[in-house]
């Protein structure tokens, strides 16, 4: 899938339409202090196996997180929904 490098759209922080840059964001590390992660680590500790059942269907594609960066206020926001695709390219 190909998308343009810049898109003119509304910035919710500046409250005006600007030519915004597309940025693909990588997945960040899981927070160790979140409640679900603490519970998961407690269950994983010791001699037990994995606490959840194995997924039967393995997904072939990753979900791409696209954000728009405003040149005026330098803030990023997600306006476009995420989607699955094998190949992703930002047109120059």
CATH classification of the domain holding 14:
3.10.450.80
Distances (CA, A) of 41 to 32, 37, 50, 55: 9, 6, 10, 19
Question: 17: how many CB neighbours lie within 10 A of its CB?
Answer: 10
Q: What pLDDT does 69 receive?
A: 96
- Rounded to whole angstroms, how far apart are CA atoms 23 and 3? 11
Q: Which domain holds residue 81?
A: 2-28+56-91
- Rounded to whole angstroms, how far apart are CA atoms 18 and 6? 10
Q: What pLDDT does 26 receive?
A: 87
- Rounded to whole angstroms, how far apart are CA atoms 22 and 18? 12
pLDDT tens for the chain, 92 residues: list them: 899 999 999 999 999 999 999 999 888 888 999 999 999 999 999 888 888 888 888 888 988 989 999 999 999 999 777 789 999 899 97
- Answer whether residue 72 is part of any domain: yes
- Answer whether residue 48 is part of any domain: no
């Amino acid at each position: 899938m190909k998308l343009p490098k810049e898109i003119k759209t509304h910035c919710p922080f500046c409250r005006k339409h600007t030519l915004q840059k597309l940025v693909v964001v990588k997945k960040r590390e899981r927070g160790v202090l979140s409640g679900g992660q603490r519970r998961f680590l407690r269950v994983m500790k010791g001699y037990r196996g994995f606490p959840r059942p194995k997924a039967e269907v393995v997904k072939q594609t990753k979900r791409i997180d696209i954000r728009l960066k405003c040149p005026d206020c330098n803030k990023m926001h997600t306006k476009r929904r995420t989607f699955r695709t094998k190949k992703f390219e930002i047109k120059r």
